[in-house]
Amino acid sequence: MSGQTVASWLERLEPQPPVALHARLRELLADHADRPVHDVPAACLAAGEARLATLLAERATNRASALDLLAIDALVTYAFEAAAAEPESMERLAADAMTRIAEIPEAP
């Protein structure tokens, strides 16, 4: 997998997500696109966490934000799927993800 990036990993997903979801995942992972493929779990969690924090801060948890909520869910799922390649990292990843997501402040 030498030379592979988060962006190339996203393009090789099987099965491919629906077109609109795939496009949104690309947008949410854009800041992480050039990271090496072994960073997929961290990149997915960071992108999902960032978008969730924004949605909560904006109180945007209605039907209009459905695609973002699906994308966040997909990012967390993909993070753990990618991490499964290194099972010894799963417990640490899960604990870190739960802590970070729980620390996202609620909307004022």
The reply to whether 51 falls in a domain is yes
The reply to whether 108 falls in a domain is no
The reply to whether 11 falls in a domain is yes
The reply to whether 69 falls in a domain is yes
pLDDT at 46: 97
pTM for this structure?
0.91
The reply to whether 1 falls in a domain is no
Q: Which pLDDT tens digits describe the chain residue by residue (108 residues)?
A: 557 999 999 999 999 999 999 999 999 999 999 999 999 999 999 999 999 999 999 998 789 999 999 999 999 999 999 999 889 989 999 999 999 999 998 877
pLDDT at 2: 58
Number of domains in the chain: 1
CB of 37 closer than 8 Å to CB of 6? yes
pLDDT at 62: 87
Rounded Cα–Cα distance for residues 45 and 74 (Å) = 10
By the 10 Å C-beta count (0-12 exposed, 13-18 middle, 19+ buried), 86 is classed as exposed
By the 10 Å C-beta count (0-12 exposed, 13-18 middle, 19+ buried), 108 is classed as exposed
